[in-house]
Each structure stands twice: as structure tokens, then as C-alpha cells.
Structure 1
Amino acid sequence: MAATDQFTARAGRSSAAGALGGLAGAMPLRLRLQANWRVRVVMVRLLGAAMILGSIGLWLVQGAGADPEMNLIRIGVSVAFLLAGLVLMTAHQPAGSPEACFDPVRRELRLLKRDAQGRPRTVLRRSYGSLGGVRLTASSVQMYEGDGSLLIELPIGSAAMRSQLRDQLSGAVRILT
């Protein structure tokens, strides 16, 4: 009986070593978590343009003319609108969007976010064994906790990325249909 236990232990180690050797050559998959920043940037720039036009429009209004106190208020409001509009027009998309890294060697999911100096910082680290399940759809991957609650949903850019992710997670995490 001891000889069969030693044999199965050796066979388990050799298959594990072979699997680890295959995983060592695999590249981690990275997914970016991005909101719809293009729409947001366009909306903010349109608001900025409207504020700049509003600052000019305050001076084009008929009948608000000769009162000096009202002109002082109009100057203050138009300068505030102009400055706020310029700030909104020059606003750009933030650079600190998080990334999801699926590491086949460590068999874990890591969420990385860049700090102010541009260095990646780990925000969340979960081993594949601690995940309850994964659902792969055409446009996203949904990862669930052990109790069935949604942990995170990530966008998938292409069918090739979905296929690579399915191959990587197939033996480690229960794939839901």
C-alpha cells in the first residue's frame, strides 16, 4: 500500500511539474477597466464651450446696459464662466484607469492601479481557487464569489482574448454557462 501511495505521489509531482513548466511560458492576460471616457470627455468639453459662450452672451443681452453695479456683477459672472469653461475645455481623460491581470503562473487575478508617480499598485489579489465561478460572455467576463455574488465584471476586447481567458481559467475555476 505504501508503494502505491509513493507511486501516485511521484506521478502527481511529475504532472504538476509539467503543468508548471507549461504555465511558465504563458503570458499573463491584461484587461483594462475603462468607463466610456470618450463620451464623458465630449460632454465636459461641450459644457465648457457652453460656459465660454455664456460668458460672452452676458454682454450681448439687450437692456442690461447702464447700471454700474449690474456691470460689476456681469464682469464677475462672465470671468467665472470663462475660467470654468476653459478648465472644462482643457480637461483630459485620466491616466489612472485600473488593469486586471490574469497570471497563469501564480494562478491569480490582480487588479492594478497606477499611483501618482506612474508605478502600478496592487488593489485586489485573488487566487483562482478562491473564486466561485466565471461567466464568459461575448463582451465581458463576470467573476463570482463562492456564495454566488458578483465580484467583478470586466470588458473583453476580442474573441481571441475571450478564448485565451477560457483556456487559462478552464482547469482552475468553474466556468458557468
Structure 2
Amino acid sequence: MTAINTNTFEKSATGVSFEKSVPVLISFAPNWKARMVLARVAGALLIVSAFSMWLMPSTAMAAEVWPIKLAASLMFLLVGVSLLTIEVLDARPDAYFDPIRREVRVLQKNENGRPQTVLRRSYDSLGGARFIEDQIELFDVDGSLLMKLPLESADVSRALKGQLSGSVTIFA
């Protein structure tokens, strides 16, 4: 097995510089950070309300009110603790654009949390790509939409355009 020195190997047969190309990973995940912050704030408020309901003076502290108040505070406490400790295991796939192999791979996490390849397409087998604002649409050879991916920033969009420009038709 021979090793290739990447410092001297600057351009491939297609003329793409691999020293300047970097792999691009695009995630399909929605804004889970904002959802987690909202869940934790709601959980903290429920826990505080569970305890504060016993600190507030009430006019009618009859024996019939205590079981209802106890049940409500326990429910607030349990729901609040569950919202604070919730962990999101997102099963949405990731798209990985590999400039060395010149292919796009869709990776999905298995039950152990390890990514597995569920789709692998070479850039030559793609029909085209369209960049629209903050997303990319990849088309099959027959013109059907293969996948639509959100782009996180303009830098990711530029890197992906540079990577795909030699192999894939980019639609305006």
C-alpha cells in the first residue's frame, strides 16, 4: 500500500484543489437549542410555582383544599423536573459533502447514536443543484428533487458552491 503525500498532490484530474477544499456537513436538525431553553425555563417556573404555592397565604385553608393543593404542587414539581432533564435524541439525518471522494453521503444515527450511511451519491450522478437564499436543492438526473437542505451561513454556501462547481450543474 502506497501513501500519497497531500502536500505535493494539489490538483486532481478535474482540476479541483484539495488543499483548499474542506468537507461540508449540513444538518437537517431544527433549532433544538431554542426549544431546549424554552423547556428548561418552563421547567424552572413550574418547580418554583410548586414550592411557592405553599408559601402564599391563603384565606381558606380547609381540610378539603390540602389534597388538591398537594396534588397540584406534586404535578408541577414532576413536570418541571422532567422538563429540566429532557434530552433530545434527534433521529434526523446529516448530509456530508466529501471533496476527496467527490460524493454526498446522508448519515443517520442508529440506536447506539453512531452515524450510518443511508445514501451515497457521487457528484457525477447528480443532475444539478440550486442555491436559494439559505438552502440548497439537489436534483436527480431526471430533474426530480433529491433533497433540500438548509444552509447555516453564507460561508457554508460559498464552500459548497466551490466544491460542487466542477462536477455538478448549478442552476441559477
* TM-score of the superposed pair, with normalisation by structure 1: 0.69
Distance change in 2, residues 1:61/1:45 (3 Å): farther
Distance change in 2, residues 1:72/1:127 (3 Å): same
The structure with more radius of gyration: 1
Q: State the AA in 2 paired with 1:72.
A: P
Distance change in 2, residues 1:42/1:103 (3 Å): same
Conserved 8 A contact 1:33-1:155:
no
Structure 2: tracts of 5 or more residues without a match: 1-11
The aligned counterpart of 2:138 is 143
- Tell whether 2:148 aligns with 1:152: yes
The aligned counterpart of 2:158 is 163
Cα distance in 2, alignment partners of residues 34 and 58 from structure 1: 38
Conserved 8 A contact 1:32-1:100:
yes
Q: State the AA in 2 paired with 1:56.
A: F
- 1:22 is displaced (CA, Å) by 5.7
Distance change in 2, residues 1:156/1:132 (3 Å): farther
Conserved 8 A contact 1:141-1:156:
no
The aligned counterpart of 2:121 is 126
Structure 1: tracts of 5 or more residues without a match: 1-17
- 1:40 is displaced (CA, Å) by 0.8
Q: State the AA in 1 paired with 2:29.
A: Q
- Cα-to-partner distance string for 1:31-88 (whole Å, 9 max, x where unaligned): 23332122211211122123223323543363441124x3223212211210210121
* TM-score of the superposed pair, with normalisation by structure 2: 0.70
How many matched pairs?
Answer: 159
- Secondary structure of 1:44 counterpart: helix
Cα distance in 2, alignment partners of residues 125 and 22 from structure 1: 21
- Cα-to-partner distance string for 1:84-142 (whole Å, 9 max, x where unaligned): 10121233554766432112343321121333434221233333344332122453322
More helix by share: 1
- Secondary structure of 1:19 counterpart: coil
2:32 to 27, 37, 53: 37
The aligned counterpart of 1:112 is 107
Conserved 8 A contact 1:113-1:123:
yes
User: Please, which moves more after superposition, 39-48 or 137-146?
Assistant: 137-146
- Secondary structure of 1:136 counterpart: strand
- 1:163 is displaced (CA, Å) by 2.6
- Tell whether 2:24 aligns with 1:46: no
Distance change in 2, residues 1:119/1:165 (3 Å): same
The aligned counterpart of 1:13 is none
Distance change in 2, residues 1:123/1:81 (3 Å): farther
- Tell whether 2:18 aligns with 1:19: no
- Tell whether 2:96 aligns with 1:101: yes
Q: State the AA in 1 paired with 2:145.
A: S
Q: Considering only aligned residues, what root-mean-square deviation do their CA atoms show, in Å? A: 3.2
